[in-house]
Structure 1
């Protein structure tokens, strides 16, 4: 299913194959040889999304751009089932395994692997040929790659990256943080009320 969102429609190369149950919304460009499988969602929430050539987006993956963070995915990238990419740049020949999470402002270098259920956190930079092991967390620039049980070290680096400030423009110490966050984000997402199906 393809949708026009806030005046922008997807641009899909004629060689790309998009499953009937995939959702492509807004300012999205999909290159030659791409495959977008069933249940995948590629949605532009104010910023553009570009998929290079021969990108495979597997079942139930989510790719989302924001007004502050576009998404660029290079050539020959595999986005595994249930993976999530939000406002990140992915270089050529990257493997993102099942259940990976890539957050806003992250940059992943060429030929890197982010393995099953691993996380690349907000504004983290992975150099070329990096590996994030199964279930581990990459955080920061320069990057730390740590197992989940080292939460205190992950949190120390993550706190400095300021997720609520960077993504939502809100101070973490705001007493009603979740009230403001959900109201602000909900207002932004409500722009989909005017979307128009174009296929």
Structure 2
């Protein structure tokens, strides 16, 4: 199903195939020969979202742009089931396996492989042809690729990347952080009340 959001409607190339249960919302461009499978959600939340050619978005994957972080996905990219991409750039010929997570401001270089359940964290850049192993975390600048059991190192890099500040504009030390975050983000998401189906 397609929705107009914030005055923008999806633009889907006539050669693309979008499953009837997929949701495409807002300023989304889907290029030629893309395949968007059942349950996928592709939503432009204030920033542009572009898929190149021959992109496959598998079942129940989520791709979301934001006002500060648009999404660009290059050509010949496969995004696996239950994967999510938020506000990131994905270059050509990238494989994002089942359950991967790519966060705001990340940049994944061409021909990279992010394996099952792996994470590319906030503002992290993977050079071309990088492999992130199953369940590992790519984080920080300089880039570190770490197994989940090295949580202390991942946590230290995450603090430097400042997720609440970068994504929500809130200081991590705010006493009522979650109150402010949910109220502010909720007001932003309430803009969907004016969405309308198209097509």
With normalisation by structure 1, the TM-score equals 1.00
CA distance in 1, matches of 2:161, 2:172: 11
1:3-61 Cα offsets, whole Å, 9 max, x none, are 00010000000000000000000000000000000000000000000000000000000
State the partner residue of 2:166: 166
State the partner residue of 1:53: 53
1:33-92 Cα offsets, whole Å, 9 max, x none, are 000000000000000000000000000000000000000000000000000000000000
Runs of 4+ in 1 over 2 A off after TM superposition: none
Unpaired runs of at least 5, structure 1 = none
State the partner residue of 2:83: 83
With normalisation by structure 2, the TM-score equals 1.00
SS of equivalent residue, structure 2 residue 178: helix
Unpaired runs of at least 5, structure 2 = none
5 Å-filtered alignment, 1:1-199, equals 1-199=1-199
Aligned-CA RMSD value:
0.4
Offset at residue 144 of structure 1 (A):
0.2
CA distance in 1, matches of 2:67, 2:6: 12
- Matched positions, count: 199
Offset at residue 141 of structure 1 (A):
2.0
